[in-house]
Chains A and B, each alone.
Chain A
């Protein structure tokens, strides 16, 4: 529960003076995921932790970047509130790392991502300066949206030191409907259901079953459940926690796992077929060794992109490819935050 901002600034200043790049490490829960290997010197930020300000009536929470998601969720639960994006806790995940990785759970299509909930950020840039953007209010359009720019940047734009997020009341009631069906049938049904006025808050397909979660006012949940049929499971079905925390067999093994982020209604890929469809069809997981370029072509045709989420060769490129123009703009943007390339070099792309 300590404010280590000054230590972090000093560490960055020293790294800048010595020309030594840093690998920013919070809970160290996602090192093997998302990005490339980053052999730089670790900068531990997990000790910079603690909830700084939580105002349930104002629907926001401010915490230091090293605060664990578990601690934050526990504080929110005491007030019957939640961080609605359901980001994975993975044991030790921190708030800062969650923003940097922009991982969200099954509620993502309805509740938004951590990127959507982020209202203000403090970060240390590559010159060791502490900068503040955004604030504690959801409507704030002064200046560029540097807060949301951190989402998915994997810490390459600065050391996130503090984050303010929008929080919401917990849904008062929830239940899950389960149906036996193929992936193609499930994809069609989940997209159709998402177009109805209903309290849908999860739609995934796993092992020949479609799961639809309803959450909200008890009246709306029971009324919708009665109309939609299926096998009813009152309360929180374990599948949502398993999907959120990636506690499924497809995430365990040494085999590579690929993440497709595509249009929710894009036709299903027959080969390789997804092992898990989440986010109402917008996030699909494919298991095993595959030709990267062939997968990219499939993803592009589906309006999105694919990356090697975990496993495989992590010294090569693992993220979706970018055009020459995109690379150029991303490099220039990186340079404006981190002119000496101190933070997580090569973690996102070999050239960044």
Chain B
């Protein structure tokens, strides 16, 4: 599972280093193999490659200068935030510069009256909410990696989290971004208002995985912190019953802040890890969070409990204070590392499916699990249909790695077949390029390529990720072979 790229550097490394040293302090360039090693992969560690060099600029002007130099020399640029991505989207390019933006870490302005925060891209997701807390505000999207992941990476991936059904994804919670084009020119997308003139480039850039430009600053919307949040924990003796319970809540006109499902293996692993008091004997578990004013939350908590009982809940528990709410979430939020203790490695999938198909999809995953002889634990954002099967495997065993990849691919293909998609919130990166033709036809993929070319004609921004570059167009444009993923 290594980089497909094996061609020699197009530009001598020394030329590039000399140019970059003119605009960057010495400690902003990482040139030695040993010191570059921590940057060879993101959180999907089965894909690794070493860059030509790593640059860690401290100012926007330096980022601009790096882009100008790379553009002039036709050198690939891969932007990276905190490296918490799960798709090898920021894996280095062997002929290119890895542009690490973590030093752009300033919260530039919080406007409590307008309820916005203007921050540099290296600022972590959680620190925005931490800084806004004294105004009674917070930033809603909360990916599991929120302690570490950067807002720039969130923008590039259109990150979600456990509260998307009610509060939306990144695209619903950003107002504007300062973006540098591949030529290093500065562009504002979005505005401080709720829309922008011309085409909605903010929507286009959100989730574009660093293929169209490099964001350096983001203005996000802040929401008032709810007066109260409480969570209901319910066990069920089948995944089907839990799925029906989810449908019943939605049908009752209730939109929970969070609605999560876990299957038996995930429940047991999480309980061993976090000791949150999860029902070990249950086949499925639901966590349903209600937030809002105190009166509203009390009202809805009662209704949800009734609905869960009617759907056949075998156990029910409601958080009585913030401490207990945090404990009940702890099991869910640590599900990935908890499942990770069951095997040398786990491979996290990210398809989205229509909620009503969850039983059928989990049955198919169980069948595939037996077929490939690899265990799988399932964690499901039941509110929005985003399913994370965690395939257990051994990265040290090439046969196990191949099986895990094949298994994962089958799950994504099945997600598309039932009306869903191959990625709900992690992105395509390098990992899911092979599944793009499952979700899209040739016409759609050609349009994606046209869009890419409109912003980056030389295909130097994060080449080989996000959207496949088709053979036809490669011949047509005589592109270098490093972009070959068709």
What residues of B have a CB within 8 angstroms of the CB of A337 in the complex?
A: 447, 450
Contact B203 A261 (CB under 8 A): no
Contact between chains at B296 and A153 (CB < 8 Å): no
Is there contact, CB below 8 Å, between A217 and B296? yes
Contact pattern, B 190-215, Cβ under 8 Å of A = 1, otherwise 0? 01111111111101101110001000
Please tell me if the beta carbons of B224 and A305 are within 8 angstroms of each other in the complex.
Answer: no
Nearest neighbor of B165 in chain A, beta-carbon distance? A138
CB-CB contacts below 8 Å: B131-185 with A: 135-137, 157-158, 160, 164-165, 168-169, 171-172, 181, 185
Task: Annotate A121-138 by CB proximity to B: 1 below 8 A, 0 otherwise.
Answer: 000010001111101111
CB-defined contacts of A112 to chain B, threshold 8 Å = 168, 172
A196-B224, A216-B292, A216-B296 known; A261+B164 contact, CB < 8 A: no
Specify which of B113, B135, B422, B453 lies most central, judged by the most chain A CB atoms within 10 Å of its CB: B113
Residue A43 lies at the interface, judged by CB distance under 8 Å to chain B: no
Q: Do the beta carbons of A148 and B171 come within 8 Å of each other?
A: yes
Contact between B197 and A319 (Cβ–Cβ < 8 Å)?
yes
Assess whether A144 is in contact with B200, with CB atoms less than 8 Å apart. no
CA distance A93 to B165 in the complex (A): 28
B residues 429-486 near A (Cβ < 8 Å) are 432, 436, 439-441, 443-444, 447-448, 450-451, 453-455, 466-467
Residues of chain B lying within 8 A (CB to CB) of residue A335: 450, 454
How far is the CB of A34 from the nearest CB of chain B, in Å? 11
Q: Which of A286-342 contact B (CB under 8 A)?
A: 302-305, 307, 319-322, 325-326, 329-330, 332-337
Chain A, residues 202-225, CB within 8 Å of chain B (1/0): the string is 000000000000001111100110
Which of B164, B172, B197 is the one whose CB lies under 8 Å from A307? Answer: B197
Q: Are B193 and A145 in contact (CB under 8 A)?
A: no
Alpha-carbon separation in the docked complex, A216 to B295 (Å): 12
Stretch in A167-175, A177-185, A243-251, A268-276 touching the partner: A167-175
Q: How far is the CA of A1 from the CA of B299 in the complex (A)?
A: 42
Contact B208–A144 (Cβ < 8 Å): yes
A238: interface (CB < 8 Å)? no
Interface size on B, residues (CB 8 A): 90
Bound: A152/B114 CA distance, A: 24
Cβ of B84 within 8 Å of any chain A Cβ, yes or no, is: no
Binary flags per residue of B300-331, CB closer than 8 Å to A gives 1, else 0 = 10000000000000000000000000000000
Segment among B63-71, B246-254, B362-370 that sits at the interface with chain A: B246-254
A33 near B: Cβ within 8 Å?
no
A347 at the interface (CB under 8 A from B): no
Query: Is there a chain B Cβ closer than 8 Å to A51's Cβ?
Result: no
Judged by a CB distance under 8 angstroms, whether A67 is at the interface is no
Q: Which residues of B contact A168 (CB under 8 A)?
A: 255
Q: Does A75 contact B (CB under 8 A)?
A: no
Any B CB within 8 A of the CB of A140: yes
Q: Is there a chain B Cβ closer than 8 Å to A11's Cβ?
A: no
Interface segment, A14-22, A23-31, A53-61?
A53-61
Please determine whether A220 and B295 come into contact, CB atoms closer than 8 angstroms. yes
Q: Which residues of A contact B426 (CB under 8 A)?
A: 141
Most B Cβ at <10 Å: residue of A139, A143, A145, A153: A139
The reply to whether the CB of B240 lies closer than 8 angstroms to some CB of chain A is no
Q: Is the CB of B193 within 8 A of A305?
A: yes
The verdict on A142 contacting B203 (CB below 8 Å), with A57-B247, A137-B385, A263-B114 known, is no
Which 4 pairs, one residue from A and one from B, show the smallest C-beta to C-beta distance?
Answer: A303-B192, A139-B424, A336-B450, A169-B253
22 contacts between A and B (CB under 8 A): A112-B168, A135-B420, A138-B168, A139-B381, A142-B428, A143-B440, A145-B158, A146-B451, A192-B113, A194-B224, A195-B136, A197-B136, A217-B295, A264-B114, A264-B193, A303-B193, A305-B191, A319-B197, A320-B197, A329-B187, A333-B199, A336-B450
**Extra A-B contacts (5), CB below 8 Å, given A172-B253, A197-B224, A223-B293:** A152-B198, A197-B136, A220-B292, A319-B198, A335-B450
